[in-house]
Amino acid sequence: MTTENIRTYDVIVIGAGPVGENVADRTTAAGLSTVLVESELAGGECSYWACEPSKALLRPVLLRADAMHVPGLDPGVKNPLDVEAVLAHRNRMSTDWNDEGQVEWIKSAGIDLLRGHGRLAGEREVSVETPAGDTVRLRARHAVAVCTGSRADLPPLPEIENLRPWTSREATSAQQPPRHLVIVGAGVVGVEMATAWQALGSRVTLFARGDRLLPRLEPFAGELVTERLREAGADVRFGIAVVGAERVDDGEVRVTPSDGGEITADEILFATGRAPRAEDIGLDTVGLKPGDWLAADDSLTVTAVPGDWLYAVCDVNRRDLFTHQRKYQARIAGAVIACRARGERLDTGRWAPHSGTADIEAVPGVVFTDPEVASVGLTVSQAERTGRAVGVVDYEIGHLAGAVQYRPDYRGRARILIDRDRQVVVGAAFVGPGVGELLYSATVAITGEVPVERLWHAVPAFPTISEVWLRLLETRRDS
């Protein structure tokens, strides 16, 4: 039997992942009563099926790869990984897919949590279907924030629903390595999962539709990752799509690639993109098309809905798909909601606390492969498309004393892009073991618009990989 009651809050947040939690934390801290609505696990995709479990799988893989090249270490590091121990570590990092800890934090922050599927039901209204079958009506005095994220976007293959393919969720939560894993997709998910499962004992075949891995990054990033994957035993093929796949009676998957033939595997992972989780959240009740991305401005306000009450934060707005960037958006949205609730005017300057410009100016990202890939700001191709005049400076990281200390056979490259008119760094890319730790300095240089001549006075310690900054500046001077 369905019952209905009405509850009123200052702010309603649909989605209790890290983004929704951050929005709710900011609005609650500002004195606004806030409720989180969640249909799955509090903590969201990042905690259970993305960032945390994937990095828990990859950390032992990458540490072992480094250790194998350091003189004097026990030869035992060259032995295969203890798969059971790695998967147990991954399970712990995912809290065994139990959200009690997250729920406790939500309560301690003074935020209400309502379990169930939330849908918009008109202006400032949300309808929640609870697991018990009840319907709870919520009304917001000030704001509703949609933080529902994204889901894997599967290709339109015939009868794909019967295939039971892996998406990123299955790839990060599997309890044993498949003997043979086919991966379709050349982006971050595809290459990270190829790195992890190849090292954990799977035979990996990766199909890339284009001519390189990591196509949105500088070409040398994909080249170095491809080289290492092939050295590790992965079969990486370019210019190939999957045109058919079926699950047969014995549970195996028969895969038909576009270049002919057939491959039999235990599992197939489609890492072919993301789609908004917006098909069943009541968008039609506020004049929007179900399933669409929600366009939001720099204050994270949905531009197509009048009244400045509806916000789209995280993947669903398509501004960026990194967790750290989405949490940045959450802080902006929380500040905007609190400001408007107090009747104050927004400070909308370029670097104002109410303006999410970092989504455009400098988005940092790390791909946790062997070698690691770190990038922020523009690539050369992006600069060319926008007509930006830039100087490109490259340096082989393996020439650094700090890199050789890290791994005697260190292979890696650094690149910075310098705006010729303003003489500031507008893009940076690093490939090599441990380069993720270089990324924050690059992000500060870009967002702070630090003049290149001033960077000479930011002295890197010797012998560290960060000395690459000095070498890049010297290379620019000598070119």
Strand 117-120 and strand 242-247: the pairing is unpaired
What lies within 8 Å, CB to CB, of 219 at 6+ separation is: 212
Work out the mean pLDDT of the chain and round it to a whole number: 94
User: What is the value of pTM for the model shown?
Assistant: 0.93
Please give the pLDDT value at position 478. 72
Half-sphere exposure of 465 (CA within 13 A, CB side): 25
* Residue whose C-alpha is closest to residue 208's, from 166, 231, 180, 239: 239
Dump pLDDT digits (tens) for 369-415.
Answer: 999 999 999 999 999 998 999 999 999 999 999 999 999 999 999 99
Please give the pLDDT value at position 78. 84
Mean pLDDT of 434-448: 95
**Could you tell me if 24 and 18 are in contact, meaning their C-beta atoms sit under 8 angstroms apart?**
no
What tokens were used for 474?
Answer: 């010297």
**Could you tell me if 242 and 269 are in contact, meaning their C-beta atoms sit under 8 angstroms apart?**
no
* Highest mean pLDDT (candidates 61-75, 346-360, 404-418): 404-418
Please give the pLDDT value at position 346. 83
Q: Which CATH architecture has domain 160-272?
A: 3-Layer(bba) Sandwich (3.50)
What tokens were used for 28?
Answer: 């609650």
Please give the pLDDT value at position 44. 94
Dump pLDDT digits (tens) for 141-152.
Answer: 999 999 999 999
Contacts 24+ apart (CB under 8 A), 351-355: 354/299, 355/298, 355/299
Residue 437 has pLDDT above 90, yes or no: yes
Judge whether 160-272 and 371-478 match in fold. no
Q: Which residue ranges make up each domain of the chain?
A: 4-48+94-151+276-358, 160-272, 371-478
**Could you tell me if 412 and 397 are in contact, meaning their C-beta atoms sit under 8 angstroms apart?**
yes
**Could you tell me if 52 and 171 are in contact, meaning their C-beta atoms sit under 8 angstroms apart?**
no
SS3 content of the chain, % helix, strand, coil (to 5): 35, 25, 40
Residue 32 has pLDDT above 70, yes or no: yes
Please give the pLDDT value at position 119. 98
**Could you tell me if 365 and 450 are in contact, meaning their C-beta atoms sit under 8 angstroms apart?**
no
Residue 3 has pLDDT above 70, yes or no: no
Please give the pLDDT value at position 249. 85
Q: Any idea what the Cα angle at residue 155 is, between residues 154 and 161, rounded to 5°?
A: 65
Q: Is the peptide bond before 463 cis (omega within 30 degrees of 0)?
A: yes
Outline where 319-451 has alpha helix (H). 323-341, 358-361, 380-385, 401-406, 439-447
Alpha carbon 170 to chain centroid distance?
Answer: 16
SS3 (DSSP) at 341: helix
CATH of 4-48+94-151+276-358, one of 3.40.350.10, 3.40.120.10, 3.40.50.1000, 3.50.50.60: 3.50.50.60
Q: How confident is the model at residue 289 (pLDDT cuts 50, 70, 90)?
A: very high
Q: Which CATH architecture has domain 371-478?
A: 2-Layer Sandwich (3.30)
Mean pLDDT of 16-21: 95
**Identity of the amino acid at 340:** R
Strand 365-367 and strand 413-419: the pairing is unpaired
Mean pLDDT of 215-221: 97
Residue 298 has pLDDT above 70, yes or no: yes
Outline where 68-167 has alpha helix (H). 83-93, 100-108
H-helix or E-strand spanning residue 193: helix 188-199
What tokens were used for 164?
Answer: 């039971």
Dump pLDDT digits (tens) for 70-103.
Answer: 888 878 888 899 999 999 999 999 999 999 999 9
H-helix or E-strand spanning residue 477: helix 468-478
CA dihedral (199, 204, 209, 212) in degrees, to 10, reads: 40
Please give the pLDDT value at position 351. 57
The burial class, CB within 10 Å (0-12 / 13-18 / 19+), for 95 is: middle
Please give the pLDDT value at position 1. 34
Report the range of poorest mean pLDDT among 70-74, 163-167, 463-467: 70-74
Dump pLDDT digits (tens) for 219-230.
Answer: 999 999 999 999
Please give the pLDDT value at position 356. 67
Please give the pLDDT value at position 2. 47
